Amino acid sequence: MTLLDGITSSQVETGRYTANVLEREGGSPDQPPVVLVHGNVSSSLFWQPTMLDLPVRSLAIDLRGFGDSQTRPVDATRGLRDFSDDVASVLDELEIPAAHFVGWSMGGGVVMQLLLDRPELVESLTLISPVSPYGFGGTRRDGSLLTADGAGTGAGGANPEFVERLRSGDRSEDAATSPRNVYRASYVAPGYVTEHEELWITAMLSTATGDDNYPGTAVPSTSWPGFAAGDRGVLNTMSPVHFNVSGIVDGARKPPILWIRGEQDAIVGDESFFDLNTLGKHGIVPGWPGEEIAPPQPMITQTRDVLDAYAAAGGTYREVALDGVGHSAHLERPEEFRAALLAHIGG
């Protein structure tokens, strides 16, 4: 069984795609619900313990090509807009005028994009270990591109063995590239254990693979490390040549933002080992041209800079950094996450 007691699942037909939506009832009918948006190589299944822990109505939406939602092509030239437009279409179909949005990792970028494009839908934002507002990889602190083509970003950085293990449904723990071992090494901090691990692996294995989905296409580059982001597929949506949501600073509507992250996050950090420039700096990928040309992306600093500017322009935000926590604060520290979220939304 993939659904925990108390969670229901339905298929919502929209004009964009058929979405799988998990739901838990709660709270008063006139209270805006909490809408949860998962990250990359995952699905709504990861949200179930959080949903069961909330005293308000909550919905978790599978993005296209993940979970039990319809697999449709992802146009990376729109950044994360294919996903954010899909989320908006679900709320429109369900006649939900506004909600408190929670986005995890890539989902953090999705909900920031939603704030840019459909601000009337957003009562508040909660960002859990979000992708930088300037995308993933290939930028200086101010968000400017290191190379015009975003060399080293996008689908070309995906490990082909990991992609193949996703495609084949591998549930083993016999290699570092198995989804189970990637989850243990990257999604959570060392030492974290859970009774739900099989469910999380099921969520990861629901990822549609290929050029139009995960990881997407890559193109050659004359700059190190020799590839740049293509125009199709999931990883290219977060390349800085396609994605930049720093414009939330200039929006007329500025709902409150909660930013919660783990100090031991292996994926999002100021020197992330998922950033090709970090791997080059530490000799893992050969030929690195040096700090002046290809510095690691300061992801945490960039997010803080943008949120500081958001606050200076009239918005508010709160940063919560949890020691001993990795990429998944809602899983690793559920009590602290619940308290922070409910204080944020007034629940």
Q: Using omega within 30 degrees of 0 as the cis cutoff, is the peptide bond preceding 215 cis?
A: yes
> Would you state the pLDDT for residue 27?
82
Instruction: Give tens-digit pLDDT for 237-291.
Output: 999 999 999 999 999 999 999 999 999 999 999 999 999 999 999 999 999 999 9
Phi, psi of 114, rounded to the nearest 5 degrees: -60, -40
Share of the chain above pLDDT 90, in %: 98
* Phi, then psi, of 207 in degrees rounded to 5: -65, 125
For each of the domains in the chain, give its residue range(s) and CATH number, in order of start: 8-345 (3.40.50.1820)
Supply the pLDDT for residue 30: 86
- Residue 347 above 70 pLDDT? no
Tell me which H or E stretch contains 277: helix 276-281
What is the pLDDT confidence band of residue 1, given thresholds at 50, 70 and 90? low
pTM for the full predicted model:
0.98
Taking every pair of Cα atoms in the chain, the longest distance, rounded to a whole number of angstroms, is 59
* Phi then psi dihedrals of residue 326, to 5 deg: -95, -130
Cα–Cα distance, 79 to 234 (Å, whole number): 9
Residues contacting residue 83 through CB under 8 Å, at least 6 positions apart: 37, 63, 64, 74, 106, 110, 113, 237
Strand, helix or coil for residue 322: strand
What is the helix (H) or strand (E) element at residue 320, kind and residue range? strand 317-322
pLDDT digits (tens, 9 = 90+) for 151-197: 999 999 999 999 999 999 999 999 999 999 999 999 999 999 999 99
Query: Rounded CA gap, 326 and 134, in Å?
Result: 21
- The verdict on whether omega for the bond into residue 97 sits within 30 degrees of 0, i.e. cis, is no
Mean predicted confidence (pLDDT) in 9-18: 98
- At 174 the three-state DSSP class reads coil
Query: Does residue 28 register a pLDDT over 90?
Result: no
